[in-house]
Amino acid sequence: MKIGLTTQSKFPVCVDVEYVIFAMLLQAETVLVLISDDDELPSWIPIELFQITDCRMDSSWLFQQFSNPGGIRALWGYARLIQDDEHFDALVERDPGALRVFYEEKHRMSVQSNAFK
């Protein structure tokens, strides 16, 4: 995945809306977070667009480091994203199977967060 952010880049998010972070990645010097955007689709968005209101991470997250100068250097997130090399690209491409896994993870995190309220 390559990112080409400019001052003209637009993202499917709104001001003053709280989003759950499902994963994070470090590419070159940019941190992106995976959220369910305003269209309910998984989207990688620069972290600078958000103010973090809850700094806890899901206890089931995994981490992977890459030796890829200029590319993805690190990835944190739900197990399938880290353990399945094809899931990342399939998610970006909006593959129905990858979307199903993402929505299952979204549901799991929703149930888990409600249990702690």
Please determine, for residue 3, whether its predicted confidence score (pLDDT) is greater than 90. Answer: no
Span 37-78, pLDDT tens digits: 888 999 998 898 888 888 888 889 999 999 876 788 999 999
The pairs formed by 10-13 with CB atoms below 8 angstroms and a separation of 24 or more are: 11/37, 11/43, 11/45, 11/46, 11/49, 12/37, 12/38, 12/39, 12/41, 12/43, 13/37, 13/38, 13/43, 13/45, 13/49
Q: Which of 15-24, 25-34, 73-82 has the lowest mean pLDDT?
A: 15-24
